[in-house]
Amino acid sequence: KHAPESRSHTDWFQCFASRVGATGQRALPGALHCFDQLVSSKKAVLVLSNASRRRSAAVSKLARLGFDVSALSGFVTSGEEAWQHMASEMRGKKAVWFTWEQGYNNFNDDYTSGLDLKFTNAEEADFVLCQGSQLVLQDDGATPIELMRSGRFCAVAEKVLGECIARDLPMICANPDLYLAMPDGKRGYMPGLLAKKYEELGGRVRYFGKPHSAAFDACMRVIGSDVPRSRVLHVGDSLVHDIAGANRAGVDSLFIAAGIHADEIGVTPAHIAGDEQISLQALHHMYQEYDAKPTHVACSFEW
């Protein structure tokens, strides 16, 4: 049940806080205590998140949930990595922007500040910025695309993607996640689905975030070259992003079963309470289906 069983041979705990430690609205039961205990045990904790926000916005959100962010040894977000790339390569260019609605949990009102981007239609754009899955922003303003809640590509999204494909515009994906467990228990559909669709249509996509090796490399730069990867444990609940990414990066992993895959595995309140064991058969079936195998597994991120 509990997370730190592998703590004795680990110096760095690399966590995906948005799902392992919090739902987006509140910290998950036991997560704050587990975080505090890891820090008290002199373990360095770094957050690697597929949040499509600037690092500062993501850190402040974690603080509001009750985590002592001053105790973190690092915080890497896919949104920050994408922003830094655009600052270097795309400054002053024109873009079609898939983004979030104002007020939504992932909304970052100044995300593109400092990039001098102009948002326009596919005919004039230089690239596509895939940062959210609720709106598309062009020269005529923001238009809802309804993907986040419905999981369906509406006519507007299909049309815009088709126009961008016709011009062979490159896409930058600031959040490769496909799905998200919403606070109400429903499934949310993420920007990674837009990027996946774009690739299926023949488009070119540059991804920032897990499971891509650049995200783990960014973390290792924070950790430092003096720490071997064998001393790093990546904690996450997505076999597609966390565990597969850790496998590729050559670091150990701890899979949190009561997360995005809970329904597929058949996790129940009795499992979370520690009264019943999760089926090993169900777990191994999932590992084979997603071609990702963790080093360790726990039901929840608890001490």
Q: How far, in Å, CA of 44 to CA of 14, rounded?
A: 8
Both structure tokens of 159: 């049309």
Cis peptide bond prior to 211, omega within 30° of 0: yes
Say what angle helices 213-223 and 78-89 make with each other, to 10 degrees: 100
Per-residue pLDDT band at 10 (split at 50, 70, 90): low
**Using one digit for the tens of pLDDT, what is the confidence trace for 163-181?**
999 999 999 999 999 988 7
Q: Which of 26, 19, 34 is nearest to 71 (CA)?
A: 34
Cβ–Cβ < 8 Å for 71, 41? no
Where is average pLDDT lowest: 11-20, 66-75, 80-89, 144-153?
11-20
88: left (phi over 0), alpha (psi -120 to 50) or beta: alpha
Q: Which of 72, 9, 23 is nearest to 300 (CA)?
A: 23
Mean pLDDT of 144-154: 94
Q: How far, in Å, CA of 12 to CA of 9, rounded?
A: 10
Report the pLDDT value the prediction gives residue 29, as an integer from 0 to 100.
67
Report the pLDDT value the prediction gives residue 18, as an integer from 0 to 100.
43
Report the pLDDT value the prediction gives residue 302, as an integer from 0 to 100.
85
Report the pLDDT value the prediction gives residue 4, as an integer from 0 to 100.
46
Both structure tokens of 207: 């991804």
Mean pLDDT of 77-88: 97
Per-residue pLDDT band at 203 (split at 50, 70, 90): very high
**Using one digit for the tens of pLDDT, what is the confidence trace for 225-242?**
899 999 999 999 999 999
pTM: 0.87
Task: Using the predicted structure, report yes or no on whether residue 106 has a pLDDT greater than 80.
Answer: no
Task: Using the predicted structure, report yes or no on whether residue 82 has a pLDDT greater than 80.
Answer: yes
Report the pLDDT value the prediction gives residue 105, as an integer from 0 to 100.
66
Q: Are strands 252-256 and 232-236 parallel, antiparallel or unpaired?
A: parallel
Task: Using the predicted structure, report yes or no on whether residue 291 has a pLDDT greater than 60.
Answer: yes
Mean pLDDT of 1-17: 55
